[in-house]
Amino acid sequence: MKQICFFILTVLSVVILFLSNGFAQDYVHYATFSGHEDSVYSISFSPDGHILASGSADGTIRLWDVPTGRHLQTLTGHTDSVSSVSFSPNGHILASGSWDTTIRLWDVPIGRYLRSLIGHTHMIDSVSFSPDGQTLASGGWDTTIRLWDIKTSKQEKTLTGHRFGIHNMSFSPDGQTLASGSLDGAVHLWDIATSRHRETFTGVGVCFSPDGQTLATTAGILEGANPVNLWDVATGKQKKK
């Protein structure tokens, strides 16, 4: 019996050691990108994962080569903190939202400024491309969400309903719905085609599941426990734990 117990314990020890080493390899430190002169507020991977964009309180955007960790370029032009950066689905355009109330579009392959989208009257905290890359959503401290046509640079729609600044946004995978999280503690769902408000959940941070059927929200700094809640998008009901 002692021999059997010893054998079982030995096998378990080997398995635990193997798993521990495996997990350790999964989470090994990969690289450190440094160069900004102030806090980094937003980061975004290009769709192919080769480039990382970082927006900083120093007013700049930096592009990094992920495989090598090499700094590729610094994009300048904003006159205040860059609070949000977002790649287009094809990776050719980078959008940056700033506390200077402007959105700037950048040609990523060439690394040059394209044009600005102007309309917000207060700091911009969030920018997000639609899945087809034709629309950019922006949210700011003027409590509005603005939808822009990327080809024409014209503002198509303005969505209103939040009481405080919009902190986070996410398009559904099919591009038909936009979720917006605000510091008023409410997450709104919007129908893009009609601009109509569909549903309200609680939270600030928002993220759709890959199938678009579930929305995850988090209370962020508004709640000490900072829970993550899951919601059924079709019914508007919170999913059971």
Buried b (16+ CB within 10 A) or exposed e, 117-138: bebbeebbbbbbbbeebebbbb
In the chain, where the domains are located: 40-232
Which pTM value belongs to this model? 0.83
Return the pLDDT at 33: 86
Q: Is 198 exposed, middle or buried (0-12, 13-18, 19+ CB in 10 A)?
A: middle
Per-residue pLDDT averaged across 192-215, rounded?
92
Name 62's bridge partners: 54, 74
CATH superfamily placement of domain 40-232:
YVTN repeat-like/Quinoprotein amine dehydrogenase (2.130.10.10)
The 214-218 sheet, strands edge to edge: 205-208, 214-218, 228-232
Instruction: Record the tokens describing residue 67, joined without a space.
Output: 């495989």
- State both tokens at 31: 């690289």
Confidence category of residue 52, pLDDT binned at 50, 70, 90 = very high
| CA–CA distance, 191 with 104 (Å, rounded to integer) | 25
pLDDT of residue 221: 59
Length of the chain: 241
pLDDT digits (tens, 9 = 90+) for 128-142: 999 999 999 999 999
